């Protein structure tokens, strides 16, 4: 992994290079003009994790730079600040080190620090140790929590000590409305909150006018898109395999006063089988699939994208909203989806500035 080098003066140049690459790589699908959303050029990541490096009395954050000529060779890079991370994280980085440097109970065998923050400044800090944590550690950690004005979790092998709370609440204003999201420690959340807002606004726009139909969402995570899109549909059925994410999605629906969504714990492959009548059981029966009229499907798959069978299954829907964190796997999937659907909206979201990575949004509508 290359550690991003932040240079705001060059931001437009790096974004333009990404835009040109996406236009070139997807030209064979004859998409409409590419919409694109820039990121803040710095301080855009709301969550980060660092190794904590001990050298005598010195203590500093570290990441590893991989040698491209020898992937097995890594160089330790000292980080006194991290312009990629939110301003809240950057203010906490030195404050945390100053607070624990001379406190053996907090410092000893501490090897990793994880920060989770929000746009409003709420912060959760996880301290990860190579030793068992005891009551004396907890006493000192509570003092640290009060000193820094954060919530703290301690982790060690087979231990997870939550001192106050295991999540933060992110608040995103989209189209004049505030959406609230519980984001749980050690589970996936969108790292770039400003780009997340843009993605949700785009998804709301491309699905507007769908109230007569129902939405099925695969890989719904903590309900990031589910919450924002629910009012655009009569009913929503969202599925996710992670137990933690399912619980968080349900919390987010309640927090936002949404009552037309059902979240089920099931893999995308199992759900596809249930839709075809090849999988039954109590959970499937409770969903009453026959009562839905799925006009739209939303998928936000892992970097590997969808397998061929899953792509073929999407062909059954009139509209497909595909959110992708990997343009390469998206292009592979579009080779199949393009047989039955055409791209009518296409967007680039610069989720990860200063890296080659891109986030894309595609709306596909069934060909006549």
Domain count, the chain: 2
Among 185, 220, 359, 360, which one carries the catalytic annotation?
A: 359
pLDDT tens-digit profile of 207-232?
998 667 999 998 899 999 999 999 99
Rounded Cα distance between 163 and 58, Å, is: 27
If phi > 0 it is left, if psi is from -120 to 50 it is alpha, else beta; for residue 176 that is left
Specify whether 154 is located in the same domain as 198. Answer: no
Phi and psi for 105 in degrees, rounded to 5? -65, -30
| Whether 90 and 158 share a structural domain | yes
Domain interval for residue 100: 47-168
Instruction: Assess if residue 211 is contained within a domain.
Output: yes
Same domain, 303 and 342: yes
Catalytic: which of 196, 311, 325, 358?
Answer: 325
Handedness of CA 185, 189, 194, 200 (dihedral sign): negative
Specify if 35 maps to a domain. yes
- Pair 284, 335 in one domain: yes
Q: Tell me the Ramachandran region of residue 281: left when phi exceeds 0, alpha when psi lies from -120 to 50, beta otherwise.
A: left
Evaluate whether residue 2 is within a structural domain.
no
- Which pLDDT score is estimated for 1? 54
Q: Are 14 and 354 in contact (CB under 8 A)?
A: yes
Q: Is 330 part of a structural domain of the chain? A: yes
What does the alpha-carbon distance between residue 49 and residue 56 come to, in Å, rounded to a whole number? 22
Helices 87-100 and 135-148: crossing angle in degrees, nearest 10, is 130
The answer to whether residue 359 is catalytic is yes
| Local confidence pLDDT in tens for the 368 residues of the chain | 568 889 999 999 999 999 999 999 999 999 999 999 999 999 999 999 999 999 888 999 999 988 777 777 888 999 999 999 999 999 999 999 999 999 999 999 999 999 999 999 999 999 999 999 999 999 999 999 999 999 999 999 999 999 999 999 999 999 999 999 999 998 888 999 999 999 999 999 999 986 679 999 988 999 999 999 999 999 999 999 999 999 999 999 999 999 999 998 888 778 877 777 776 777 777 788 888 889 999 999 988 998 888 888 888 899 999 999 999 999 999 999 999 999 999 999 999 999 999 999 999 999 97
pLDDT of the residue at 214 = 95
Would 3 be classed as within a structural domain? no
* 122 is a catalytic site residue: no
pLDDT digits (tens, 9 = 90+) for 291-305: 888 999 999 998 899
Q: Are 53 and 12 part of one and the same domain?
A: no
Q: Are residues 222 and 121 in the same domain?
A: no
What percent of the chain shows pLDDT beyond 70?
Answer: 98
**Residues 294 and 325 grouped into a single domain:** yes
Cα maximum dimension of the chain: 70
């Amino acid at each position: 992994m290359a550690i991003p080098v932040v240079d705001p003066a060059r931001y437009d140049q790096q974004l333009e290079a990404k835009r040109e690459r996406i236009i070139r790589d997807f030209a064979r699908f004859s998409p409409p003009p590419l919409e694109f959303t820039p990121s803040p050029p710095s301080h855009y990541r709301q969550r980060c994790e660092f190794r904590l490096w001990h050298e005598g009395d010195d203590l500093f954050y570290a990441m590893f730079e991989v040698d491209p000529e020898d992937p097995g060779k890594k160089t330790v890079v000292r980080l006194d600040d991290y312009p990629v991370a939110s301003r809240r994280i950057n203010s906490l980085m030195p404050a945390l080190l100053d607070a624990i440097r001379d406190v053996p109970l907090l410092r000893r065998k501490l090897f990793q620090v994880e920060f989770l923050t929000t746009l409003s400044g709420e912060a959760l800090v996880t301290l990860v140790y190579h030793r068992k944590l005891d009551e004396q550690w907890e006493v000192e950690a509570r003092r640290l929590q009060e000193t820094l004005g954060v919530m703290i979790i301690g982790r060690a092998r087979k231990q997870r000590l939550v001192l106050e709370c295991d999540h933060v609440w992110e608040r995103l204003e989209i189209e004049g409305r505030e959406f609230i999201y519980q984001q749980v420690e050690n589970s996936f959340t969108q790292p770039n909150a400003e780009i997340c807002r843009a993605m949700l606004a785009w998804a709301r726009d491309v699905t507007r006018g769908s109230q007569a139909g129902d939405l099925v969402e695969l890989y719904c995570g903590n309900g990031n898109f589910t919450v924002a899109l629910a009012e655009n549909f009569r009913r929503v059925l969202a599925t996710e395999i992670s137990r933690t994410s399912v619980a968080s999605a349900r919390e987010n629906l309640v927090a936002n006063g949404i009552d037309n969504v059902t979240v089920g714990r099931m893999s995308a492959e199992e759900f596809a089988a249930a839709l075809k009548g090849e999988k039954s059981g109590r959970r499937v029966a409770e969903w009453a699939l026959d009562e839905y009229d799925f006009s739209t499907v939303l998928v936000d798959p892992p970097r590997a994208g969808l397998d061929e069978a899953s792509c073929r299954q999407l062909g059954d829907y009139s509209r497909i909203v595909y959110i992708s964190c990997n343009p390469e796997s998206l292009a592979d999937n579009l080779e199949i989806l393009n047989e039955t659907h055409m791209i009518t909206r296409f967007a680039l979201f610069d989720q990860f500035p200063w890296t080659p990575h891109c986030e894309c949004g595609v709306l596909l509508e069934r060909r006549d």
